[in-house]
Amino acid sequence: MTINVTPHLNFRGDARDALEFYQTVFGGELTIASYADMGNTDPATADHVTFGQVTADNGFSVMAYDVYPHLEWERGKDPFFVSVRGNAPEEIQGYWDRLVDGAEVKQPIGPSPWAPLYGQLTDRFGVTWVLDVAAQHPAT
């Protein structure tokens, strides 16, 4: 079993540009799934990023997405999450079960359209965590 901890950056419409920029700086592979890829047909947000990452052989890794339109978002406020991604559901569930103590659950852990297991919470110290089991996404 293995996990990776990665900064997960939050944007409103700029995630694709940011990820493309970070790829030019650090190299690596760029992966992007848009809202349209997940079935969103709203033309205002269909091209926004629902999942994006840059990972490089040199160890650089960053994730990003465009905050869902129905959620509050202010540039510089809650600019990132801590993403804990693994390949073993029982391991990720175990971390969740311990982190949830005193936390505000933003998305209960369970299957999602983009991951076999996904959940989001803000712990009792004010840090927002995203825990999920890795899914395969096509590179762009």
Q: Cα–Cα distances in Å, from 62 out to 4, 78, 101, 116, 138?
A: 11, 16, 27, 20, 16
Q: Pick from 92, 79, 93: which is nearest to 128 by CA?
A: 79
Q: Which domains does the chain have, with CATH numbers?
A: 3-133 (3.10.180.10)
What's this model's pTM, rounded to 2 decimal places? 0.74
pLDDT digits 0-9 by tens, 12-69 = 999 999 999 999 988 999 999 999 998 888 888 899 999 999 999 988 999 999 998 8
